[in-house]
A and B are shown apart, each in its own frame.
Chain A
């Protein structure tokens, strides 16, 4: 029996603490759309996407209204285009990106992800065409997201691709310079990318997934922060217990939404992604949770430990609340999308190096970080190599989504708008060159999995 207090607690989480379901994402396989003729291929994927996801947005809105829980985004992920389009006789996949954009707009979703390639061990022709097409594709489309997986614990790191992605990010920034290099906000470079991640910009529909699945990404940093406000001075056992209980409640809502969406759309339920996804709104920040634990500012010594506890407790609480958990599942630390992180960077408590340390213990990696426009491609590649190495050695997903904003210097600020937020330019250690290191290319071999010291 539900009590009055339960009802009031749930509704307070939604209205005051900004509890929401961040996304319902439909994964759609495009493997059955392959065709050597580009025009025919584009027509195939357009039809598959628009028929599969015809009712996705309306279903999401119905569930949102009936249960009174905001569902912020409805999204689509597709088979990595480098795989789906590999048979096409072409040297550019830009028309494919334009078709994805058009199909996604037709069904009314917020984003479509999967303009992707998985190249941790090597390239096919399709992988090369896709990576070459990324800057132009992101410049000519609005809601297409792109990702490249270039490293894994099993395969090592493709350093040729690391070098190339530094250049791709620079070109993407240049081609979208009139929009503050917004193209780079839609491009993620991964190591150990999961094939069932519902979050953008890194979502793609993995090759081992069913034809169609529905996955849900939860949110709720505000709810966790609020729960910790009653625990001033309490020890970490109590802190961890409280976060677990809160994560359980948040995830149960996600599970309900996923179950309903799956039933109504007639599409199997995939996974719940247990990520605490922040927004730039006040009261919806992961950094503020860390500060609530007793740090004067995010980035102070102790931040990595606080984040490790948070990330682990969220998983422990969430795992029991859902029948299938997957995706990225952890706390996100996207700088421009988190009001507390923005504040920490602005006042100097949070640096690139501390963010890198934080990525060792939390979900994903260096995310939504605006850097100086004249940062060299080799330096960006160096950042990518470091993150990929952390992911490879620690058997976890890591990623880089940095935005070298043309014409901007440390001290400037950039606005991306909406959920992407705003960000001061974060200083990068670029006074020393990584050029010769990155120029080597080849592969970093897969790591040994014993002698783990």
Chain B
């Protein structure tokens, strides 16, 4: 299963490190990262493969959400298919 992880919030040191650490700890492989800073706001969209991961998606979402809240960013992880069906025929 491919995941789309979106991260938005006020920029600070260590956001990417934190997110990628959680993914690595759970054996989720990163396929691409698109990241920028706009007006001091951090935006990142990350595509990852979770086929080898043991963690359930709902549990991974919970970890990302809670850790994100601690450093003031909103993190969402969604199954890629919702974007595929909406934008590809």
Contacts and interface: CB of A to CB of B under 8 A. Distances in A.
Contacts of B88: 2
A69 B83 contact: no
B79 A7 contact: no
B16 to A, nearest CB: 16
Given A4-B45, A7-B4, A11-B76, A253 B61 contact: no
Contact of A249 (B45, B81, B86): B86
A446 interface: no
Nearest to A256: B85
Contact of A11 (B6, B80, B81, B87): B6
A6 interface: yes
Interface in B5-63: 6, 34, 45, 57-58, 61
Contact of B34 (A4, A11, A62, A252): A4
Interface residues of A, number: 20
A256 B61 contact: no
Contacts of B79: 66-68
Contacts of A66: 57-58, 78-79
Interface string A1-37: 0111011111100000000000000000000000000
Contacts of A256: 81-82, 85
B83 A2 contact: yes
A10 B57 contact: no
Contacts of B86: 6, 10, 249, 252-253
B82 A69 contact: yes
Given A7-B4, A11-B6, A253-B85, A2 B80 contact: yes
A90 interface: no
B84 to A, nearest CB: 6
A65 B76 contact: no
A65 B88 CA distance: 22
A398 interface: no
B57 A68 contact: no
Contacts of B80: 2
Given A66-B78, A68-B76, A68-B78, A6 B57 contact: no
Contacts of B81: 67, 256
A137 B58 CA distance: 40
Nearest to B78: A68
Most B C-beta atoms less than 10 A away, residue of A6, A7, A67, A249: A7
Given A67-B78, A255-B85, A7 B58 contact: no
B58 A253 contact: no
Contacts of B58: 62, 65-66
Interface of B: 4, 6, 34, 45, 57-58, 61, 76, 78-88
Given A2-B80, A65-B58, A67-B79, 19 more contacts: A2-B4, A2-B87, A2-B88, A6-B86, A7-B4, A8-B45, A11-B6, A62-B58, A66-B58, A66-B78, A67-B78, A68-B79, A69-B82, A249-B87, A252-B85, A253-B82, A253-B86, A255-B85, A256-B81
